[in-house]
Amino acid sequence: MALIVHKYGGTSMGSTDRIAQVAKRVAKWTRAGHQIVVVPSAMSGETNRLLGLAKELAPARQTAEYLRELDMLASTGEQVSVGLLAIALQAEGVAAVSYAGWQVPIRTDNAYTKARIDSIDDRKVRADLNAGKVVIITGFQGIDGAGNITTLGRGGSDTSAVAVAAALKADECLIFTDVDGVYTTDPRVVPEARRLHTVSFEEMLEMASLGSKVLQIRSVEFAGKYKVPLRVLSSFTPWDIDIAEEAKSGTLITFEEDEKMEQAIVSGIAFNRDEAKISVLGVPDLPGIAFQILGAVADANIEVDVIIQNVSRDGKADFSFTVHHNDYARALDLLKDKVLPALGGQANVVGDPRICKVSIVGIGMRSHVGVASKMFRALSEEGINIQMITTSEIKTSVVIDEKYMELAVRTLHRAFDLEQPGA
């Protein structure tokens, strides 16, 4: 008997029919003798619908009073899901009880709309499991120290599931979703993309932060911190698929590097269209300039990703960095209004929102030289110009013109032999 956490995403919970299928699948796992905790998302589209209602009434604001109410509102989607799933399980003849985050409780800080989990009290859940019940807990939400409902950021149910699994020291956390695992890249861009049977936790973390949308980044961080065995698998197989087969399906996120020894040097190609480039040209080449520019950006709570500064000529340097699209206009204004005047008015700011970032990821890069140059050669053979480069131990990213994104991803996928065998 194992203790297993199942997480079902919005599409998997998308209708009462789908919820009935989830109930049948969960019932199958309990009949096989396992203790099951289920963490579902809201029904697909529901969180957007709820947040849309708020917009109909008032423009978004960043005040705590407003954000508190957004969380109060958005958290209800998951409450609907857990109630419906418990009803469906009971109809299957399986004892089940549902809880909202505050009932467990799942304690968080008070950063509304992006709260972090501080602790989870497992006593009630354990008592129910020991009494033979399936326990269903809302994803995406918790309660702060003052008793307010909080949410964990979009896609946060993944994090709830992993955190619950960590708190219960579950044997495994199964993330059931609408794709059947983690792929070498997005199959919509490269149809020959291949499902990975295993991916190391570090690679998964890079892929999630570089734009792969399979798991919320924070859930991967959490899994790493507490060593939660995590598997991404499909909820669209027939619910009565053989349980032993199902338990091995999808992609397992591993913590053992040895298991990866035989694997390719590059495991995946990630891409991200959500960034824009900003360059500050002709800044004086003096100590403190990077701080003056990026300090102002950080103070405005704008996250910066790739940064480059060229070698100076005639005492002047150019300084470029990327920010999220949503922060682009604000960052440009800030630089023009505040930073340029402070730099003595000689520098100049230009921006380009039509860029993208393409990355190769693989823990094999640690022990192999020449991986990045192979990437650059493949791109140059397609005539793709690289605007910026950034590397870490297990990834190399390039910033290129957005219009070459798909070509770049396909080219790199081929260059690093990631296609399906025989494709």
Find which of ligand ASP, Mg ion, none residue 128 binds, CB within 5 to 8 Å per kind. none
Query: Candidates 112-120, 152-160, 228-236, 321-329 — which segment interacts with ligand ASP by CB under 6 A?
Result: 152-160
40 binds ligand ASP per the rule CB under 6 A: no
- Encode 406-419: b = buried (16+ Cβ within 10 Å), e = exposed: bbbbbbbbebbebe
Q: Residue 398 Cβ, how far from ligand ASP at the closest point, in Å?
A: 30
Q: How far is the CB of 87 from Mg ion (least distance, A)?
A: 23
Please state, in angstroms and rounded to a whole number, the distance separating the CA atoms of residues 204 and 270: 11
8 Å CB contact between 178 and 236? yes
Q: Which residues contact 31 (CB under 8 A, 6 or more apart)?
A: none
Among 99, 140, 176, 201, binds ligand ASP (CB under 6 A): 140
Instruction: In whole angstroms, give the CA distance from residue 35 to residue 243.
Output: 14
Sign of CA dihedral 181, 183, 186, 188: negative
Q: Which is nearer to Mg ion, 75 or 396 (CB)?
A: 75
Counting Cα atoms < 13 Å in the Cβ hemisphere of 42 gives: 21
Shortest distance, position 56 Cβ to ligand ASP, whole Å: 18
Nearer to Mg ion, 142 or 362 (CB): 142
- Residues between 273 and 302 that touch ligand ASP (CB under 6 A): none
Partner interacting with residue 349 (select from Mg ion, ligand ASP, none; CB below 5-8 Å by kind): none
Going through 93-177 in order, the beta strands assigned E by DSSP cover: 96-99, 106-108, 117-120, 134-137, 141-143, 149-151, 172-177
Give the separation between CA 215 and CA 339, rounded to whole angstroms.
37
Task: Give residue for tokens 């959500």.
Answer: 274
Binding ligand ASP (rule: CB under 6 A), the pick from 139, 211, 268, 362 is 139
Q: For ligand ASP, which residue of 10, 14, 362, 364 counts as binding (CB under 6 A)?
A: 10
**Amino acid letter, 327:** D
String of contacts with ligand ASP for each residue 157-186, x by CB under 6 A: xx----------------------------
Residue 282 host element (H or E): strand 275-284
**Min. distance of Cβ 87 from ligand ASP in angstroms?**
19
Which of 11, 47, 148, 411 binds ligand ASP (CB under 6 A)? It is 47
Among 14, 101, 155, 364, binds ligand ASP (CB under 6 A): 155
Q: Which positions from 82 to 121 touch ligand ASP by CB under 6 A, shown as an x/- string? A: ----------------------------------------
> Interface with ligand ASP includes 199 (CB under 6 A)?
no
Residue 11 binds to ligand ASP (criterion: CB under 6 A): no
HSE-CB at 420 with a 13 A cutoff on CA atoms is 9
Is the CB of residue 351 less than 8 Å from the CB of residue 320? Answer: no
For Mg ion, the binding residues (CB under 5 A) are 9, 155
Residue 389, strand partner residues: 398
Among 19, 71, 77, 150, interactor with ligand ASP by CB under 6 A: 77
Q: Can you give the binding site for ligand ASP, defined by CB under 6 A? A: 10, 41-42, 47, 77, 139-140, 154-158
